[in-house]
Amino acid sequence: MLVLASSSPRRRELLARIGAAPGRIASPDIDETPLKAERPRAYALRLAREKARAVDRHDGEIVLAGDTTVALGRRILPPAESEDVQRRLLELLSGRRHTCISAVCAIDAAGHERLRVAETVVAFKRLTAAEIAAYVASGEGLGKAGGYAIQGRAEALIRFISGSHSGVVGLPLFETRALLAASGYPLG
């Protein structure tokens, strides 16, 4: 049985695209504060691993956890916990390239951990104040890494993407499928 260590409905939807259906959902409770001088890739990998380890795994279960981190250079951008934070994030990302790092950890039935990561470069068009205000008013990016959801209205503001679209949404499907297959989860 597959256990998804995430309460994200997007991750469940993405898993369904590859024919994986969690038998159980468990929301891990971990401290997501970056460590001093921690780089974005190391941060995303650490969080994916800690989320997978934070969930009780019963006999025969495979635990899957992921983390998506938005980085501007070496700077880890926070999730948009308020409209003010979201506005500042969008102003930072306007007209610039940034990286979405999506790490995935699977712990198989024998307790072996496997990690994969996808890095995707994303560039917003130069956003006007009106575009930022309209996007913030939509409420779509609240709580999201970097302050936006690529699977919604923000996609029309992105001029360039190189890498895993599903990774930016929250779970890189190519890497996830490989992890699940290596962990013994039956995929069609």
Residues noted as catalytic: 67
| Distance, CA of 85 to CA of 82 (rounded, Å) | 5
User: Are the C-beta atoms of 146 and 87 separated by less than 8 Å?
Assistant: no
Q: Parallel, antiparallel, or unpaired: how do β-strands 62-72 and 24-25 relate?
A: unpaired
User: Are the C-beta atoms of 44 and 101 separated by less than 8 Å?
Assistant: yes
Task: Please name the amino acid found at residue 142.
Answer: L
Q: How far is CA 136 from CA 48, 65, 81, 83, 91, in A?
A: 28, 28, 12, 6, 11
Q: How far is CA 69 from CA 22, 112, 127, in A?
A: 23, 24, 21
| Distance, CA of 124 to CA of 99 (rounded, Å) | 11
